Structure 1
């Protein structure tokens, strides 16, 4: 785990790495959600909307025995994203979890709670929350980058998230086959048993939206979401 010192040192390097290929576009996407340990499927929804000068990224997943919500509010300033607030709530399977983060960029501090533990962290420039970095990743993939790193506030800790592009693959979804760019999270050796893979639509008309995600935990349990339907900038998505 790389903590505050490393994140602070690298902030000057990574703060300017997110290049915006094109202006953000609002989107809505629904997904089928599957856990390998459960005999039934669930649903998930992800949306990006603009309210005034702020963008709001929401994710909701629900199954019979579990639910998860994740919400971020952020600003887009030139070639960077500036998080303002982050909320995460999980209930059902396993222990429940609530995270609340508020970003004060004048004071350069983040405050809130993580499972009832107080958060009060100094913010290096360029820090993202656990949801906003996904938009930065999507935009960097669209810009043709093959290796990406982000400073992320994870609970009450500052970490560096690394990613690499593995190539192109065809993903079969409910809206048809989609040519996608596969991205993998690069973890440290002690975390290498966990795997996160994401596929972003290659079509510019789809604005490189997430079409599939697979998460494999250390114990082998697997979680997967696959695109069911969606819109980008009000236009309905349709594959081949």
Structure 2
């Protein structure tokens, strides 16, 4: 479940349009196909002091909970992460990852499940939460294929995505026109599948995520309600 919740979202092919972050908040239903109960998830972006932004994600179900939080800033259209925290409880062993992005020393320093992490830091390197914002803005700019360098635990991995087209998503907020995006993986390396939908008329807010794990288990979050820059998300009605 933990990996499924990471939009996984996480990104830097940079948007062709100027990046102007807008605060948002969204709540989702969270369904794990193999479990008889539903959970909930919350995702938000808010401005902090000194040009920093905080991106937060929380999800909980009967047997597990996940918290993910990043702080970041924008510099000349580049996303610069500052801190990253991930915690998972339940579903077996807990997991905690912390990263600090020291741009003066050009190092990522932190820990992954108690083991120290130290990696070189260059512009364009993202954490597993901030890349989701970069993906959102690349999709808004009309980019069809994206690739990002992401700090994943104690190493740097490449996350690739491609746009599949447009699709209407039926949510509790109404019918929403969305751009459908797929995480591209080497099928010889992983059978996991991740599909994301971003709302065209709502600053490309994430409205749905569907994940199939390597063992065949399926996970989905679907928008219940949200606000973008102070406006309530409202889709079309049947």
Task: Identify whether the pair has TM-score above 0.5, normalized to the shorter chain.
Answer: yes
Q: Which runs of 5+ in 1 are unaligned?
A: 1-13
1:81 to 46, 68, 79: 79
- Which residue does 1:167 correspond to in 2? 165
Q: Which runs of 5+ in 2 are unaligned?
A: 1-10
- CA deviation map 1:42-62 (0-9, x unaligned): 000000000121010000000
- Which residue does 2:39 correspond to in 1? 42
Kindly state the Cα deviation for residue 17 of structure 1 after the two structures are TM-superposed.
2.9
- Which residue does 2:66 correspond to in 1? 68
Within 5 Å, which residues of 2 pair with 1:23-172? 23-52=20-49, 53-172=51-170
Q: How many residues align?
A: 225
| Structural RMSD (CA) | 1.3
- Which residue does 1:217 correspond to in 2? 213
- Which residue does 1:6 correspond to in 2? none
Aligned to 2:53, what secondary structure does the other structure show?
Answer: strand
Kindly state the Cα deviation for residue 215 of structure 1 after the two structures are TM-superposed.
1.2
State the TM-score, normalizing by the size of structure 1: 0.91
Counterpart CA distance in 2 for 1:72 and 1:35 is: 25
Kindly state the Cα deviation for residue 18 of structure 1 after the two structures are TM-superposed.
3.6
Counterpart CA distance in 2 for 1:161 and 1:15 is: 9
The answer to whether the 8 A contact 1:55-1:73 is kept is yes
- CA deviation map 1:7-36 (0-9, x unaligned): xxxxxxx95634444511000000000001
Kindly state the Cα deviation for residue 93 of structure 1 after the two structures are TM-superposed.
1.1
- CA deviation map 1:162-197 (0-9, x unaligned): 000000011010001111000000012333410111
- Which residue does 2:233 correspond to in 1? 237
Counterpart CA distance in 1 for 2:160 and 2:101 is: 22
Counterpart CA distance in 1 for 2:90 and 2:106 is: 35
State the TM-score, normalizing by the size of structure 2: 0.91
Counterpart CA distance in 2 for 1:16 and 1:92 is: 35
More helix by share: 1
